[in-house]
Amino acid sequence: MRSIGQHLVEAWPRLFRYALTLTREPDAARDLMQQSALKALSTGATPSEPRAVRAYLFQIVRNAWIDRIRRARIIREGDVQDWPDDGFDDRLIDAIAVRQAFAALDPSCRSVVACVDVEGLTYRETAARLGIPVGTVMSRLHRARQTMLHRIAGQSDESEVR
């Protein structure tokens, strides 16, 4: 039987990508990973099946991130940057629009989008990772995608699908 430390080492790259998706900042993702690793290593009871351990580790990262948001209680505004006057690359504008729409999602929808659209997990795997029913995954994903499309299209908040 492998230790939680061995499972943690094996899942570290995927856990870090997930943390980076949640935090959107490499330094914050590293801090979140350190906090999550300490929590995982300090717990006594862990699942015995490898898939359950992996889901358990992702849940620790997610819960640590939620705890951090609750403690901060700060709504973060987008960073304002000085852009060059010589024009924009349309791909850059599209990427910024998608990131802003993603950042504006509520945390529960953002985590579902991160699992399905960024990590490439199935609905069932996402449900297991987040500890929610598959139907809730499908509902949140649909709502999040519609909200992002409305934001990218520049429609007001009243016209968004809720």
DSSP state for residue 48 in the 8-state scheme: S
Q: Between 157 and 144, name the one with better pLDDT.
A: 144
Burial 139-157 (b: 16+ CB within 10 A, else e): ebbebbbebbebbeeeeee
Measured distance CA(50)–CA(35) in Å, rounded: 22
Confidence of residue 89 (pLDDT cuts 50, 70, 90): low
Longest dimension (CA), the chain: 60
pLDDT tens per residue, range 34-88: 888 888 888 777 777 878 888 888 888 888 888 887 776 544 444 444 444 444 5
Question: Where are the CATH 1.10.10.10 domain residues in the chain?
Answer: 90-159
Span 109-148, pLDDT tens digits = 999 998 998 888 899 999 999 999 999 999 999 999 999 8
Structure pTM?
A: 0.48
Q: Of 8-17, 36-45, 147-156, where does the model show the most confidence?
A: 8-17
pLDDT at residue 82 in the model: 46
Q: Are 35 and 64 in contact (CB under 8 A)?
A: yes
Q: What's the pLDDT score for residue 130?
A: 92
The confidence band for 90, taking pLDDT boundaries of 50, 70 and 90, is low
pLDDT of residue 132: 94
Task: Judge whether 110 and 144 are in contact, CB under 8 Å.
Answer: yes
CATH level 3 topology of 90-159: Arc Repressor Mutant, subunit A (1.10.10)
